[in-house]
Amino acid sequence: MTGTQTLADPTTQPLRDQVPDGCALVIFGASGDLTRRKLVPALYALAHDGLLPDRFVAVGLARREKSHQVFRDEMRAAVDQFSRLHPLKPEVWDRLAQGLYYIPASFDDPAGYERLGAFLADADRQHGTAGNRVFYLATPPAPYASIVDRLGAAGLVSDAWDGPRGGDATGKGQGWSRIIIEKPFGRDLSTARALNADIHKVFRERQVYRIDHYLGKETVQNILTFRFGNSIFEPLWNRRYVDHVQLLVAEDLGVEGRGEYYDTAGAMRDMVQNHMLQLLSLVAMEPPATFEPDAVRDEKVKVLRAIRPVNLARSGDVTIRAQYVSGTQGGKKIPTYADEPGVAEGTATETYAALRLEIDNWRWAGVPFYLRTGKALARRVTEVTIQYRQPPLLLFAHAEHPRHEERDVIEPNRLTLRIQPDEGISLRVGLKPPGPRISLVPARLGFVYRDTFGVDPAEAYERLLLDCMLGDSTLFIRRDEVETAWALVTPVLEAWAAAGRNGLASYPAGSWGPKEADGFIQTDAREWVNP
């Protein structure tokens, strides 16, 4: 038999065609920006697309006193402002708002959890949520352990992690419980391990959904389908053909009033430990045996464990850290980071980080992975670039460089996975231009999601909320992933902290980063790919 075999496996069907069982979503930190900008607009989009269960309630919990109706009015205004779907459909909103509630409570007040428990029991009876609960910690990380502990003490967490057990639409019996936890998940390896231990006192690992919203973006999800669903690329996805890989997460804004938080985090904690290492693991992983959640995450962990530890004795050769100084971005003046409100005097916190990593396995041995992220850079963009090796023999006398210089080189083939903005995929190839001359010029083949499919991709939180309600943890981070990533970056953070401002470079806001970073990659006879 020839051709491709298709497995009749229900787990391979698109999750967006499935509707979860009835459940209650409890949002801790319901007065915050995350709830207003992302979570409730995501719920509205799911309701709009018919992907929320009929038996569904969402209850926000925060310290501020307000009524259910005030909360609903605030959330409607948020959906009007932040939803990707315009104009707002009143009939969709009204249906969602009927199950939208608010409980004023302090996160450390046992009485608040008693009120929450009474509300959830009533929701089981009135709305048929059957004891199924998703707890979303949309708070700063400080109260995570306390919230988990009090949920357990109040008896609000079921141990039925793999689906309903003995429950029905009347609320009798026991449903499932899951918890979604936002980053940052710890500050280093020891704090991440301590937080995991605290969570596991109440929740089993399969009940824990550590969220990284990058994993919900369409192009990130498409990395695996693009690699393993197209026979033309997978054979070229290895050290024989790939020269190097670049991962870029660039933000064009400064800290924008978040200086107090950012000064305790920095680029390494804010972007590299989570988003960027997750992207790297998806790009570099081996094909999983199945597309089951743990099979996928097993392969990601193998990649993280295979990354060679950073040689701290030569950290300047493989890492760069920097802070932005005043500059102009889009005609707007951005002040020096050290002058931003909330930033400590003499701070050594990095707003830019670049690393050169190597993966010691058979697929990637000798292929460097360059990671680069920063605030106040030239433009907002997140993309992965796979640069292929040059042909073994130069057959053409001349090739035209993008800057229109004549050079006896061929511009390398590059595959670019654009994650934001304008999500899509492109491939740079060399083509002969019209005319009698035999030469090569670079050209791009590719697509943009909006142009190809006629719609903008769904927001990441839509997919991730839906997946959690469906019990699919593929796009969430497992405990060993978190701890392995921290084991890699913690020694670097400790070395940087010990050095203080020594070795801390600077770059003007609105640029692509410090000149030291250019030397960093040019030492390897390579150059940054700036969109």
Instruction: Please check whether residue 58 is in contact with residue 43, taking contact to mean a CB–CB distance below 8 angstroms.
Output: yes
Phi, psi dihedral angles at 508 (to 5 degrees): -75, 135
Short-list 89, 95, 55, 51, CA closest to 72: 95
In whole angstroms, what is the distance from residue 230 CA to residue 224 CA? 10
Instruction: Please check whether residue 102 is in contact with residue 63, taking contact to mean a CB–CB distance below 8 angstroms.
Output: no
Rg (CA), the chain: 25
- The total of other beta-carbon atoms located within 10 Å of residue 260's CB is 13
Both tokens assigned to 496 = 């940087």
The residues, ordered by sequence, that sit 6+ positions from 85 with a Cβ below 8 Å of its Cβ are: 44, 45, 48
Instruction: Please check whether residue 33 is in contact with residue 81, taking contact to mean a CB–CB distance below 8 angstroms.
Output: no
Q: Which residues of 224-244 are buried (b: 16+ CB within 10 A; e: fewer)?
A: bebebeeeeeeeebeeeebbb
Region for 331 from its dihedrals, namely left if φ exceeds 0, alpha if ψ lies in -120 to 50, beta otherwise: left
Short-list 276, 283, 281, 279, CA closest to 237: 283
- CA angle, corner 185, sides to 469 and 461, nearest 5? 35
Instruction: Please check whether residue 302 is in contact with residue 211, taking contact to mean a CB–CB distance below 8 angstroms.
Output: no
- Annotate 155-212 with DSSP letters as a single string: T---S-TTS-BS--TT--SB--EEEEEPSP--SSHHHHHHHHHHHHTTS-GGGEEE--
The residues, ordered by sequence, that sit 6+ positions from 332 with a Cβ below 8 Å of its Cβ are: none
Both tokens assigned to 59 = 């209850």
- The total of other beta-carbon atoms located within 10 Å of residue 503's CB is 16
| Cα separation values, 203 from 146, 216, 305, 424, 440, Å | 13, 23, 26, 38, 59
Instruction: Please check whether residue 175 is in contact with residue 130, taking contact to mean a CB–CB distance below 8 angstroms.
Output: yes
**Which sequence positions are flagged as catalytic?**
275
